[in-house]
């Protein structure tokens, strides 16, 4: 399970697997001409499909589709394809893909300026190749009725582009609970299950499915009994949620009087309402890179508007921690950056930003300008060494100087923090602590990099353990180093909102927990029923254990006892 819930409705099936085609060259001129004809026909088919999509599309979408039609007949693109087919004897799909990468390579030298063109070429290329190979495209734009999406995989950018009211639930063949698409589904309050292996091959689009996301069971063509059982469970779950909503105004205070500050992680303005409704006491993590995933490119003024608006909405609740762009890895932004063999270890987050200074400067200026009224903190992701942090801070200081010289107002005392999400950062947290005002521990990446397990890969999910002894030691070390330097400390990975792990997190000394808005209510309820003293004993025992299985068993026992006590009180 990624996010519990139920659904019973039609399935919408999506597959992304890349079309496979041979790279064999044509043998003679007549075969080459056949390939050229195939390519020309594919162009006409794609052109018609794009025009059909334009009917009924809104203005923004139409502009994109028009740009794609334009790109389809771009002289450089088409002449390269013809040359590859006729002179180099490439077959049509191979020629299209090769021409596209040549054009993209040329445009990539000026990423900011041509980002949209690159995305258009990528889209046109996959449309042409799909027609030429007769392999259907994963076209989520066909989703027009509320359905359960059954997919091999979904990119966070694709999920963001959909109307959430049309998504009843999401079932993925692969994925992991801390992958960004999972985080997003949870934030959008969409029941979601992963690792269903070949569900997207087995389910037929349009057939009825029933999902119990708590048990991670998807019923295909369910009988009447199953449908009625799922519908009843859905109703019961809704009632429980309503009951918890009443607690949103209560402080997250343990039974022995320790206040745990509950903040939220958001991916944009759309997530603010839900977070406020569930009683968030501030934003512990604003994942700004999600602003890059839509069709619109936000300029400096527009970014200032968004950051200011979030701070204004949280003015009476708490600070808003804006994390600078953390694109890369599974947060792939179309048209931005090259495809890398090992993206999680590649040009991600501040590494990307420091190599694209114009883009980074724009964001830093926007955050600074938005900070003028206070209530904003800035945070840098993926810092892996003191030197890297120093370089980022020195660039940030340059941008501050520039703003000052232009008479732009900003909060001179805006707290500056770094995420601790790379093992090297946790291990050297004593050194980093002297340079920043706060730490926020990103356990999603910290786990992935500490135990060397891809957070989105279901095949190795059994090894992805946030309560691995190495993780517990790093969490403990970071907390001690933050305390020694008297800087603020938070935790913002999914671990912070996981009811099974919250006692451990609190017991390890974390008092500021930032989580998915959907996790706030259950977390508040759990904390109010828990004793901090017992959580500390639990953490101490866990730190002394050698096996992760033993830690899990210890947690299970602790949580079962807490649940029993809770039931006893009601
Ligand atoms: C993390 O890594 O724990 C984190 C909060 O950042 P993200 O999930 O966006 O990578
Ligand atoms: Mg991270």
Do 521 and 244 form a contact (C-beta atoms < 8 A)? Answer: yes
Ligand 1 within 6 A of CB of 444: yes
Mutate to test the pocket of ligand 1, among 267, 293, 419 (most ligand atoms within 8 A of CB): 419
Residue 93 has pLDDT above 90, yes or no: yes
What average pLDDT does this structure show over 492-505? 96
Measured in Å, residue 381 CA sits from the centre of ligand 1 at: 8
Residue 556 has pLDDT above 80, yes or no: yes
The three-state (H, E, C) secondary structure of 243-255, written as one string? HHHHHHHCCCECC
Atom of ligand 1 nearest to the CA of 444: 3
Measured in Å, residue 443 CA sits from the centre of ligand 1 at: 7
Q: What is the residue with the minimal CA distance to atom 8 of ligand 1?
A: 444
- pLDDT tens for 451-477 read 999 998 889 999 999 999 999 999 999
- Tokens 């913002």, located at residue: 492
Atom of ligand 1 nearest to the CA of 289: 9
Atom of ligand 1 nearest to the CA of 326: 9
Residue 115: band (very low, low, confident or very high) from pLDDT cuts 50, 70, 90 = low
What average pLDDT does this structure show over 111-120? 63
| pLDDT value at residue 124 | 85
Residue 56: band (very low, low, confident or very high) from pLDDT cuts 50, 70, 90 = low
Tell me the ligand closest to 471's alpha carbon: 1
- pLDDT tens for 248-263 read 889 999 999 999 999 9
Domain 252-569 class in CATH: alpha beta
CATH 3.20.20.60 domain locations along the chain: 252-569
Residue 315 has pLDDT above 80, yes or no: yes
| pLDDT value at residue 69 | 86
Residue 374 has pLDDT above 80, yes or no: yes
Give me the catalytic one of 180, 264, 468, 532.
180
Ligand 1 within 6 A of CB of 519: no
Measured in Å, residue 167 CA sits from the centre of ligand 1 at: 24
Q: 279: phi > 0 → left, psi -120 to 50 → alpha, else beta; which?
A: left
- pLDDT tens for 523-551 read 999 999 999 999 999 999 999 999 999 99
| pLDDT value at residue 253 | 96
Ranges of beta strands (E only) in 167-238 are: 167-172, 192-193, 208-212, 217-220
Higher pLDDT among residues 174 and 279, named by residue: 279
User: Comparing 114-128, 212-226, 436-450, 496-510, which segment has the lowest mean pLDDT?
Assistant: 114-128
Q: What angle do CA 258, 259, 265 make, to 5 degrees?
A: 140
Residue 373 has pLDDT above 60, yes or no: yes
In three-state secondary structure terms, 419 is strand
Do 4 and 241 form a contact (C-beta atoms < 8 A)? Answer: no
**Residues with Cβ within 5 Å of ion ligand 2?**
421, 442, 445
Higher pLDDT among residues 379 and 205, named by residue: 379
Atom of ligand 1 nearest to the CA of 265: 5
Ranges of beta strands (E only) in 15-116 are: none
| pLDDT value at residue 60 | 62
Integer-rounded Cα radius of gyration of the chain:
25
- Kindly list the distances between the CA atom of residue 552 and the CA atoms of 468, 526, 531, in Å, as whole numbers in the listed order: 9, 18, 19
- pLDDT tens for 2-45 read 688 999 999 998 887 667 788 889 999 999 999 999 999 999 99
- 468: annotated active-site residue: no
What average pLDDT does this structure show over 45-74? 79
Ligand 1 within 6 A of CB of 2: no
What is the Cα–Cα distance from 497 to 513, expressed in whole angstroms?
7
Of 232, 235, 205, the residue nearest 220 (C-alpha): 205
Q: Indicate the length of the chain as a whole number.
A: 570
- Tokens 């979408």, located at residue: 61
Tell me the ligand closest to 443's alpha carbon: 1
Tell me the ligand closest to 447's alpha carbon: 1
Residue 570: band (very low, low, confident or very high) from pLDDT cuts 50, 70, 90 = low
Higher pLDDT among residues 169 and 184, named by residue: 169
| pLDDT value at residue 339 | 75
What is the Cα–Cα distance from 560 to 570, expressed in whole angstroms?
16
Ligand 1 within 6 A of CB of 97: no
User: Comparing 121-135, 199-213, 372-386, 510-524, which segment has the lowest mean pLDDT?
Assistant: 121-135
What is the Cα–Cα distance from 493 to 450, expressed in whole angstroms?
14
- 16: annotated active-site residue: no
What average pLDDT does this structure show over 290-305? 91
| pLDDT value at residue 136 | 61
Whole-model pTM: value is 0.80
- pLDDT tens for 324-371 read 999 987 777 766 767 788 889 999 999 999 999 999 999 999 999 999
What is the Cα–Cα distance from 352 to 360, expressed in whole angstroms?
9
Residue 241 has pLDDT above 80, yes or no: yes
Domain 6-15+139-226 class in CATH: alpha beta
- pLDDT tens for 260-281 read 999 999 999 999 999 999 999 9
CATH 1.10.274.10 domain locations along the chain: 29-133
Do 176 and 455 form a contact (C-beta atoms < 8 A)? Answer: yes
| pLDDT value at residue 58 | 64
Ligand 1 within 6 A of CB of 287: yes
- pLDDT tens for 429-452 read 999 999 999 999 999 999 999 999
User: Comparing 31-35, 315-319, 487-491, 560-564, which segment has the lowest mean pLDDT?
Assistant: 560-564
What is the Cα–Cα distance from 347 to 353, expressed in whole angstroms?
9
Measured in Å, residue 381 CA sits from the centre of ligand 2 at: 7
Residue 300: band (very low, low, confident or very high) from pLDDT cuts 50, 70, 90 = very high
Residue 419 has pLDDT above 90, yes or no: yes
| pLDDT value at residue 561 | 86
Residue 109: band (very low, low, confident or very high) from pLDDT cuts 50, 70, 90 = low
Mutate to test the pocket of ligand 1, among 156, 179, 268, 287 (most ligand atoms within 8 A of CB): 287
| pLDDT value at residue 569 | 65
Residue 213 has pLDDT above 60, yes or no: yes
Give me the catalytic one of 171, 492, 532, 548.
492
CB atoms under 10 Å from CB of 358, counted, come to 9
Superfamily of domain 29-133: PtsI, HPr-binding domain (1.10.274.10)
Q: Do the strands 6-14 and 512-515 form a parallel or antiparallel pair, or are they unpaired? A: unpaired
CATH 3.50.30.10 domain locations along the chain: 6-15+139-226
Residue 388: band (very low, low, confident or very high) from pLDDT cuts 50, 70, 90 = very high
Q: What percent of the chain has pLDDT over 70?
A: 94
| pLDDT value at residue 557 | 93
Ligand 1 within 6 A of CB of 516: no
């Amino acid at each position: 399970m990624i996010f519990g819930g139920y659904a019973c409705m039609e399935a919408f099936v999506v597959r992304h697997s890349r079309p496979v085609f041979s790279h064999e060259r044509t043998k003679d001129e007549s075969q080459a001409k056949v390939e050229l004809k195939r390519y020309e026909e594919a162009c006409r088919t794609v052109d018609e499909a794009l025009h059909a999509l334009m009917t009924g599309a809104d203005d923004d979408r139409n502009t994109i589709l028009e740009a794609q039609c334009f790109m389809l007949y771009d002289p450089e693109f088409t002449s390269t394809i013809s040359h590859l087919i006729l002179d180099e004897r490439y077959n049509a799909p191979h020629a299209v893909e090769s021409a596209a990468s040549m054009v993209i390579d040329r445009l990539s030298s000026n990423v900011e300026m041509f980002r949209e063109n690159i995305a258009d070429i990528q889209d046109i290329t996959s449309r042409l190749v799909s027609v030429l190979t007769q392999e259907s495209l994963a076209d989520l734009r066909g989703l027009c009725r509320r359905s359960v999406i059954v997919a091999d995989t979904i990119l966070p950018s694709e999920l963001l582009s959909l109307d959430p009211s049309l998504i009843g639930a999401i079932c993925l063949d692969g994925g992991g609970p801390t992958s960004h698409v999972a985080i997003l589904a949870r934030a959008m309050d969409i029941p979601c299950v992963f690792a269903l292996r070949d569900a997207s091959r087995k389910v037929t689009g349009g057939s009825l499915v029933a999902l119990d996301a708590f048990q991670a069971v998807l019923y295909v063509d369910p009988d009447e009994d199953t449908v009625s059982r799922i519908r009843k469970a859905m109703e019961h779950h809704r009632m429980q949620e309503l009951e918890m909503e009443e607690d949103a105004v209560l402080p997250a205070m343990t039974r022995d009087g320790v206040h745990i500050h509950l903040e939220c992680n958001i991916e944009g303005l759309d997530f603010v309402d839900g977070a406020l409704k569930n009683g968030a006491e501030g934003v512990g993590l604003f994942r700004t890179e999600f602003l890059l995933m839509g069709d619109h490119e936000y300029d400096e003024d527009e970014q200032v508007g968004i950051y200011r608006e979030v701070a204004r909405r949280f003015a009476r609740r708490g600070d808003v921690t804006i994390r600078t762009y953390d694109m890369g890895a599974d947060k792939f932004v179309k048209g931005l950056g090259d495809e890398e063999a090992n993206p999680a270890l590649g040009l991600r987050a501040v590494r990307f930003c420091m190599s694209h200074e114009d883009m980074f400067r724009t964001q830093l200026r926007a955050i600074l300008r938005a900070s003028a009224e206070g209530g904003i903190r800035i945070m840098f992701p993926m810092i892996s060494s003191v030197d890297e942090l120093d370089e980022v801070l020195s660039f940030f200081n340059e941008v501050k100087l520039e703003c000052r010289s232009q008479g732009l107002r900003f909060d001179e005392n805006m707290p500056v923090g770094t995420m601790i999400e790379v093992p090297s950062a946790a291990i050297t947290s004593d050194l980093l602590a002297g340079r920043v005002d706060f730490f926020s521990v990103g356990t999603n990446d910290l786990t992935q990099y500490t135990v060397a397990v891809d957070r989105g890969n279901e095949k190795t999910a059994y090894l992805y353990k946030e309560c691995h002894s190495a993780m517990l030691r790093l969490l403990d070390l970071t907390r001690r180093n933050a305390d020694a330097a008297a800087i603020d400390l938070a935790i913002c990975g999914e671990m912070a909102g996981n009811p099974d792990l919250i006692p451990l997190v609190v017991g390890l000394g974390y008092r500021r927990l930032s989580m998915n808005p959907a996790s706030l209510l259950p977390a508040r309820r759990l904390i109010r029923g828990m004793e901090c003293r017992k959580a500390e004993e639990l953490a101490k025992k866990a730190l002394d254990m050698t096996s992760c299985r033993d830690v899990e068993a210890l947690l299970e026992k602790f949580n079962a006892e807490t649940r029993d006590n809770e039931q006893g009180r009601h």
